[in-house]
Each structure stands twice: as C-alpha cells, then as structure tokens.
Amino acid sequence: MCGIAGYYLKAPADDRSRLTEMARRLAHRGPDGSGFHEAGRVGLAHTRLAIIDLAGGAQPLYNEDRALVLVANGEVYNYLELRTELESLGHRFATHSDCETLLHAYEAWGEAFLDRVLGMYAFALHDVNRGELLIGRDRLGIKPLYYALTPQGLAFASELKALRPLLGRPEVDALGLARFLQANFTSGPGTLMRGVERLPPGHIGRMGADGVLHLRRYWSPTQTRPAGIDLDEALEVFDTLMDEVITIHLRSDVPFGLFLSGGVDSSLLAALISHKVDQPLRTWSVGFPASGVHNELAAAAAVAERFHTRHTALEVSARDMLDRLPHAIWAADDLSADYANLPVSLLAERAGAELKVVFSGEGGDEVFAGYGRYRMPWIRRVLAGLRHHGSGGFRTRGVFSRVGRDLFQPELARAMSAWRAPFVQGWGETPADWTDLMRRQHVDIVTWLPDDLLVKADRMLMAWGVEGRVPFLDHRVVEFGLALPDGLKVDARSGKRFLKRWGERFLPREHLWSHKKGFTVPVGEWLRGEWLERYGRVVPQTAAVQDWFHPGAVRRLVEVQRRSGRMTGPLWALLNFTLWYRLFVEGDGEAPPRLRDPLDFLAD
C-alpha cells in the first residue's frame, strides 16, 4: 500500500524537483520510503508503506532487462499463484513483492494480464522499448488514481494534492461542485478540480508518443448475468468463495486488525478472520454515548466477546469529532461530505499507532442489497422516474433539491441541471435482462461506492499510514451478489437476506436480523446554538461562498436551521466546501492541524 505519482511530458523534464515534490505530498501514504524513475519524458514516483517483502519490495520495480518499470499502490492478493505460473514460463523475480507479478504478467500476457489479477491496485507502467506509459485501476476502484492532461503532457497521482506541483493553483469545476452539493460527493470522470479526472474503476489508459491517452474498460459489473440458483446451492457456492477470498486477503508480512461496527458485514468478517488466525484479532469500534444518535458500541462489544478479539471501544463526544473536520477534508481531498469520515479518521489514527493493515466491511450493502432505498415502493419509483427521465426513479433527490436556486451564482446554477448524469448513466448502461434491483445496485456500485465510500476507506486510513482491506469487494463476490435472484436479496421488510442466512452459522439470528440502523454521527448537535450563530457570521464571509454562492442566501439557510433544524445537510455540505476551498484553492494543499475548530480555521 503506497502512493504513486508521475508524468509523461511532451518534452524531457528539465529537473526532478516537481517529481520529488509530488512524492512529498504523498508521504503520509508511504512513510517507509520513496523511490523514483526518470527516463526522458517519463517520471515515476513511489512512496512506500511496507506490507509484503519488507526488506526487498521497494519501488520502482524492474523486469529482467529493465525494459519495463512499475510503480504500484495496493495489493495483488493472488501473487503467489501468479508468481508460480510466471516462473514456469521462465520469468525471473528480483523480489518477493506482490506487485512485481504485475510487471512479469504484463510481459507475458500484455494488457490481458489484468484479467488474471485478484486485488486492489492502481499502477503506472513504463514500457521503455515501446515508449509508452500504461496506467490502470482495479475493477471496483478500491485504490484511487487521478490524472490531468496539461499543455506539458500527462500528470497522474494517487491523490489530487500531489498534482499541484504540475497544475499550479487549481480552479473549481462548476459541474463537479454541483454534483458534490447534491450528492455529497463528486461522481463521473470529473472532479472538483477543473481539468482533473479520475481514471474510472476497471479501466486502463495507454499513452504513447502521439500524446493521446487511450482509455479501455477491461471489467464491468454489467458482465454479470442473473443466476437461476436456489438458496442451498448459493450457500454452498458462497462457502467456497468466501473461504478463498479471506485466505488470500490475509496475506501480509505485518499484523492486521478490523474496524468492528457490530453490523452484519464487519461482524461476519470478525467471524471469518478469527477462524483463520492463531492469535486474538485486534478490533476497534467508536461510538457517541452522550449523543442522541444510535450507539453501536454494545453490538460491537458482543461480537468481540463472541470471537475473543482484543477489542478497543472509543467513546467520543460530538465536539471531539467536529475538530477533526479540517484535517479529514485535507486527507480526502476528493471532497466528500460523508459524516463517517470523522470517526473513521479517528479509528485509523488509533489503529495506526499499533499496526499497518485494517479490514472493514465496505461493499456488503451494495453487493447484497442491504439499503432501504433498494426496497422503495414501486409507485414511488415510477413517479420519480417520470419526473427524471432515464433514472429509473433512483437517486433522484439531491441535498439541495428543496433549496432555492437564488443560493447559487449563475455558473453554478447552470451546472445544477446536470448533477444526476452519472446516476442516469449507471442505470442506462445495464443489460436488458437485469432486474430493477440489480440496476439500483449497479448505480451505487459505479458511483456511490468508488466515489464516496472507498474515498473514505482509502483516504481516511492512508492519512495515518494504514492500509484498508475490503473482502466483500473482491470482484468475484460482487459478481456473485449481483447475480443472486431478487428473492434471495430482499423482501418488503429487510435487505441482505442471503448474507444474513449465510451468516447464521456464525452469529445469532437476532444479531443478524435486527433492524438496520446504519452508522450515525451527531451532526445535528453541531449545527445549533452558539456554534450555528458563529457559522452564520463566518461562512458567508469566506472566499468560497463569495465566489460561488450568494452570502445573503446562506444566512437565510442558517436562519431556517435555527428555527427548524431542516438545513443540516445543506449547511454541512457548504461547510465542507468552504474548508476544502481554503485548503486547496486559497492554500497550497498543506495539511492543517490534526485538531482545529473548523470555524476558527476559516476565520484565520
């Protein structure tokens, strides 16, 4: 697990300072060392978090004749099997690194090598003889990769902040901002920074001397076909699949732990991992016992006791979390207003003091249909679909849907009409033989999952030098879950039915089948009283609001919140954007203090 950055320029680089500065901005992702490759117009940088082959796995990595050079971020879980096959073909390995298999696999099978790889990864590979640069990202987008096509050439990096040395001061993209405001995250290829795009999940890009980046999708969830399978057969198949998935995900040369929420997904991971390790599993949970929101600590403690984990429960106040906000926004840099970023950041900081690898349950709800929105009554879906053509009536309401357009400056107001496009595209690209439930799952798997949940899982952990592993997003598990008949996934009262039935061999029925509560953060407790009054004085005066909104309309939102509490979502999104703007547009993208009141930070 690491950070990568680099470029393919139209003319040879005149100095190495930009490359080293890109790496410096990724040092939190790789505190164990850095490495560089420069050859004419190509520059590659790597910052290392040593997980496998601690002594010999430093990057860049080279093949036998040094005609191929690689920097990679992530884990190739089936590297032992790939290595055995490649050695039988005559390839000689210089290290025991899992990522070295990518080099030799490309040499053996060309671009088709990714069809054989099981893992989470983003990489850049310089094919010296062909004068080409290949960049790639794993199937589900677990690992990030951003790029920009500039007048000087192609620049890429694991995080947006590492592109700053080549891009200069960024400009806000109005469409990216509109999508963030309405969905709480930006989706689609574009980002909040004008001219910077995500390499989409399941894609590779190739650039040669023509200076054109050619993108190709090598995997898509739409390759899945609905399966005519009954419960007994599905349980048997899933037994075998999950045993293999957990086995290869446990490959590590350093200790690992688990973020344990007490929900179905993390509880099942606790069961599966505990059965495969000799020592008690290290687990953490976090809760807000003094607040009015659901507290998960008791459920997590019960699971920890059942599987004899070495457990830490963190009890925090709402104010403890609020003061983490500026640092969390810096860590994410691909702006997400997900409330859970804050407790996950705290968990990562505490876990990072002890170990480098943590498992979590991301993906279970999307893959096995756990969310209530997947069970929306058909009449509501039909009516929403009529109002928003091509959406299937899914993900049609935005955070600012009930806020007047007088809030936005003209450029942003115009962009608001296109915020749904990624969700509409996700719905429309699904096969004709898919059910509506499969389409809803697909929309989330290609938008919400990589652009929100996995931003949180990667960035909040990597800010503290911790690798996150997400077994439910092994692509074979995703294909299995999508393909299940609807009746095995949901009924009118509950979702994730198959996973709960399968989990009954590990956990009590009452734990698995209790009403889904979700992970909640007491944001409403922040946006009231004296702190809300300070918000109304500070936020409208910021450059972000002055440039993109009408300050008077922001003050009116504050007043509505004071009277009724109905503007928590919009005011939270605005606060996140103003902090991001202060850090990355007004500022140079450097890290703020670990703890700082966000309004004090804006007022400085």
**Token pair in block for residue 426:** 């996700």
Amino acid at position 524, single letter? G
Parallel, antiparallel or unpaired: strands 203-207 and 256-259:
unpaired
Strand partners, 478: none
Give the phi and the psi of residue 132 in degrees, each rounded to 5.
Answer: -125, 155
Q: How far apart are CA 14 and CA 21, in angstroms?
A: 14
Q: Is 99 a catalytic residue?
A: no
CB 394 within 8 A of CB 427: yes
**Token pair in block for residue 305:** 């006791």
Active-site pick, 2, 199, 300, 416 = 2
What 3-state class would DSSP assign to 487?
Answer: helix
Q: How far apart are CA 415 and CA 551, in angstroms?
A: 19
Residue 28: alpha-carbon gap to chain centroid: 17
Reduce the secondary structure of 148-212 to three states and give it as a string. EEECCEEEEECCHHHHHHHHCCCCECHHHHHHHHHHCECCCCECCECCEEECCCCEEEEECCCCC
Helices of type H across 90-207: 100-109, 164-167, 174-183
- Cα distances (angstroms) measured from residue 178 to each of 61, 133, 175, 412: 41, 33, 5, 7
46: alpha, beta or left? (left if phi > 0; alpha if psi -120 to 50):
beta
**Token pair in block for residue 402:** 């009930």
Q: How far apart are CA 516 and CA 400, in angstroms?
A: 26
Cβ-based burial of 88 (10 A; exposed 0-12, middle 13-18, buried ≥19): exposed
Q: How far apart are CA 448 and CA 531, in angstroms?
A: 30
Give yes or no for a cis peptide into 60 (omega within 30° of 0): yes
CB 539 within 8 A of CB 602: yes
Q: How far apart are CA 407 and CA 548, in angstroms?
A: 9
CB atoms within 10 A of CB 50: 20
**Which residues are marked as active site?**
2
